[in-house]
Amino acid sequence: MKPLLINGDWVDGAHGVENINPSDKSDVIDLYAQAGVSDMQDAITAAQDAFKTWGFSTPQQRHDILKATGDEIMVRREEIGTLLSREEGKIRAEGIAETTRAAQIFHFFAGEALRLNGDVVPSVRPGVSVEITREPVGVVGIIAPWNFPIAIPAWKIAPAICYGNTVVFKPAELVPGCAWEIADILHRAGLPAGVLNLVMGQGSVVGQAMLDDPRVDAISFTGSQATGARVADACIKNMRKFQLEMGGKNPLVVLDDADLDVALDCAVNGAFFSTGQRCTASSRLVVTEGIHNRFVEALIDRLRALKVDNALKEGTDIGPVVDATQLAQDCDYIDVARAQGGNLRSGGARVARETDGFFLEPALITDTTPDMRINREEVFGPVASVIRVREYDEALHVANDTEFGLSAGICTTSLKFSSDFKRKSEAGMVMVNLPTAGVDYHVPFGGRKKSSYGSREQGSYAKEFFTIVKTAYTAP
Ligand code: NAD
């Protein structure tokens, strides 16, 4: 059984849970220890104690550990990427790419540890000087979702450690494997006891115990809106800092003047790669009427050519849905869309393969309207809907007509429309002739409206969350 990491010790939890491969339900990856409430409390105590020293560690110490961690992840990217695909279900190439990304994130924050600076400014009072510095926040609770099992933990843990915080990490139930590898690598890289604690277990039990504990100084959460709201409630009650990254209903606008191949590449990649299980997935395709029919027909051809199969099998384009619950949710949304007048033009059926997994053909639903549930609620699967619009202004209006605001894309060859869209889109991230999903790791990531709350993740902007500003005055 893979144990918890608390205060530098590997600890067996109350019991173990099997980590099952969604491509092949008979494949048990391993048993992972499940923490109870007292394990979470021990982890928070350890993080609090460790902060007394780690909070004053040198940038060199933090750099060296983050660099060594990035190095090991990079060297082992094929092995860890394969584990990722085995536990989450995205295809192996995507698993390896995500693992490479995690290594790059650790390397980036290794450098950031050496780049932290402050300001010295003249006071308005004679002879007085003012220093503005950034300090670590303290004990940071990290709660991660299942769909990016290594990249999301990396982009939260690396900056937390980089800026001198200590961490209690609660990974998603479905993907303990990559979480365990990160903890093991950081531990062996020389991270002092208690600086990173790995507490695997049920969100409603150990996650909730983290939220309820006033000793946690900040919480960085990525997951669903429903859980995000709980996190916000608990954090406000405890007057603690928090940041939330949640769902999306991301539009990809395709205008009449788009390069059709570019638009098709963006739609196929953005809506269906990683089995559509990305918060930035292009789940709404907003298409102007001059290109609509050509786009839809060509997209159906592309979708029919995609191979849905075991994520580890050579030649697979789309792996399984992550589990039975998510599969049922995807199928329900397809049914609801049809019942409300949508036209299921391609895919949408469960398919059997050599191995017993949660395979679903990518579904394309046309003739939908913005008010249908399929266009208002996040599905989180290989399901995209098409909304036909007259021209650019209507496309922009429909794109923004959502409570979400994570990512938005436009395919056009017009500078006028792309510039206008970049300015008027109500999303935190805007893509021109690129899929809505797929971002750089050295620049800010995050959304607006009900997709996100708090300061941005990633790049140097991460310090807004993981540090706290101090203003010190000195008289001569
Ligand atoms: P989820 O909300 O079910 O779970 C997220 C995490 O919260 C898990 O670790 C879970 O155990 C924990 N949790 C659950 N109940 C809790 C509680 N009461 N207290 C504390 N923690 C609790 O989300 P999920 O199904 O794992 O992930 C899918 C969602 O994540 C989608 O909505 C997706 O859009 C979103 N997501 C957003 C981003 C982004 O950056 N915006 C990125 C990836 C995924």
The 10s digit of each residue's pLDDT in 114-139 is 999 999 999 999 999 999 999 999 99
What are the Cα distances from residue 393, in Å, to 84, 255, 367, 444? 42, 11, 19, 28
* Rounded distance between C-alpha atoms, residue 217 and residue 234, angstroms: 12
Atom of ligand 1 nearest to the CA of 171: 9
Atom of ligand 1 nearest to the CA of 245: 41
Buried b (16+ CB within 10 A) or exposed e, 224-252: eeebbebbbebbeebebbbbbbbbbbbbb
Q: Which residues does residue 169 pair with via DSSP β-bridges, in sequence order?
A: 142, 198
* Contact indicator for 372, 339 with CB cutoff of 8 Å: no
Which fold would CATH assign to domain 251-432? Aldehyde Dehydrogenase; Chain A, domain 2 (3.40.309)
The structural domains of the chain, with segments of one domain joined by +, span 4-246+451-474, 251-432
Q: What is the pLDDT along the chain (476 residues), one digit of tens a residue?
A: 999 999 999 999 889 999 999 999 999 999 999 999 999 999 999 999 999 999 999 999 999 999 999 999 999 999 999 999 999 999 999 999 999 999 999 999 999 999 999 999 999 999 999 999 999 999 999 999 999 999 999 999 999 999 999 999 999 999 999 999 999 999 999 999 999 999 999 999 999 999 999 999 999 999 999 999 999 999 999 999 999 999 999 999 999 999 999 999 999 999 999 999 999 999 999 999 999 999 999 999 999 999 999 999 999 999 999 999 999 999 999 999 999 999 999 999 999 999 999 999 999 999 999 999 999 999 999 999 999 999 999 999 999 999 999 999 999 999 999 999 999 999 999 999 999 999 999 999 999 999 999 999 999 999 999 999 999 999 98
CA 16 to CA 251: how far, in whole Å? 41
Return the ∠ at Cα 173 (arms to 141 and 103), rounded to 5°. Answer: 65
Please tell me if the domain spanning 4-246+451-474 has the same topology as the one spanning 251-432. Answer: no
Ligand 1 neighbour 230 (Cβ under 6 A)? yes
235 is an active site residue: no
Mutation test residue for ligand 1: of 157, 219, 224, 233, the one with most atoms within 8 Å of CB: 224
**Residue having the nearest C-alpha atom to atom 20 of ligand 1:** 207
Q: Is 52 helix (H, G, I), strand (E, B) or coil?
A: helix
Question: Mutate which of 279, 377, 402 to test ligand 1's pocket (most atoms within 8 Å of Cβ)?
Answer: 279
Q: What's the 376 CA to ligand 1 centre distance in angstroms? A: 19
Q: What is the pTM of this model?
A: 0.98
How many angstroms separate the CA atoms of 90 and 358, rounded? 12
Q: Which of 245, 377, 378, 457 is catalytic?
A: 245
Distance CA 476, CA 127 (A): 6
**8 Å CB contact between 335 and 301:** no
Is 162 a known active-site residue? no
CA-based nearest residue to 466, from 134, 216, 27: 134
| C-alpha to C-alpha distance for 350 and 64, rounded to whole angstroms | 48
Q: Could you identify the atom of ligand 1 that is nearest to the CA of residue 452?
A: 41
Closest residue CA from atom 14 of ligand 1: 203
Specify the CATH class of 4-246+451-474 in words: alpha beta
